[in-house]
């Protein structure tokens, strides 16, 4: 019965997804199943710091670069086993849902060699995710990333609206339903 109710709610949310639904936390919480139960929605969107991080060529990026999109930001490290485990699901999510209205942004924080990141992406066939680094952990510190992995969801205005501590099945039906309800793919 719960699965049927979730399917009905998912369908209703998918067809009527808009910014107003982002404020409907009980409806979003009803979509949480499995590892998505760890996802915590904020009653009020929170600003995020405008701290720079880099790409492999040394180019600077900021979370504000993705303003106008729903963004799933994942802080990870090559040495973190749970981080490595969820990366294929994040890659599939970006490949299937990424576009004009939604983006998965993965940021390797702390000591991660560029060679190690490239090897890991090659071994796991990660092709849709960006290679971005927060080597000095400035962004991670400002965002209170105290362990890894941590994933935050930013609304199109660039504010944090949800956070998940630990690894999760980001390519699950539950994750996709939540992101669709928040406006991904809209």
- pLDDT exceeds 60 at position 107: yes
* 146/163 Cα distance (integer angstroms): 13
Displacement of CA 167 from its chain's centroid (Å): 11
Angle between helices 2-16 and 173-182 (to 10 degrees): 30
- Average pLDDT of the chain? 89
Give pLDDT tens digits for 152-179. Answer: 999 999 999 999 999 999 999 999 999 9
Q: Which domain holds residue 141?
A: 2-182
* 58/42 Cα distance (integer angstroms): 33
pLDDT above 70: percentage of residues in the chain? 87
Residues 130, 65: contact at Cβ < 8 Å?
A: no
Q: How confident is the model at residue 16 (pLDDT cuts 50, 70, 90)?
A: very low
CATH number of the CATH domain containing 58: 3.40.30.10
* pTM for this predicted structure: 0.87
- Considering its fold, how many domains does the chain have in total? 1
The DSSP code sequence of the chain is: -HHHHHHHHHHHHHHH--HHHHT-HHHHHHT--GGGGG-EEEEEEE------EE-TT--EE-GGGGTTSEEEEEEE-TT-HHHHHHHHHHHHHHHHH-SSSEEEEEEEESS--HHHHHHHHHHTT--SS--EEETT-HHHHHTT--SS-EEEEE-TTS-EEEEEES---TTSHHHHHHHHHHTTT-
């Amino acid at each position: 019965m719960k699965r049927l109710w979730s399917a009905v709610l998912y369908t209703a949310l998918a067809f009527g997804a808009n910014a107003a639904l982002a404020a409907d936390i009980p409806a979003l919480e009803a979509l949480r199943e499995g590892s998505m139960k760890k996802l915590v929605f904020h009653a009020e969107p929170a600003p995020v710091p405008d701290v720079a991080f880099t790409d492999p060529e040394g180019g600077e990026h900021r979370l504000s670069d993705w303003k106008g999109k729903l963004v799933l930001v994942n802080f990870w490290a090559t040495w973190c086993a749970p981080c490595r485990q969820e990366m294929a699901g994040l890659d599939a999510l970006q490949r299937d849902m990424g576009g004009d209205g939604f983006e998965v942004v993965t940021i390797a924080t702390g000591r991660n060699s560029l060679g190690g990141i490239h090897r890991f992406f090659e071994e796991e066939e990660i092709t849709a995710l960006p290679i971005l680094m927060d080597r000095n952990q400035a962004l991670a510190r400002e965002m209170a990333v105290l362990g890894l992995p941590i994933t935050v969801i930013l609304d199109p205005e660039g504010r944090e609206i949800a956070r998940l501590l630990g690894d999760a099945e980001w390519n699950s039906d539950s994750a996709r339903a939540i992101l669709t309800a928040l406006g991904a793919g809209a």
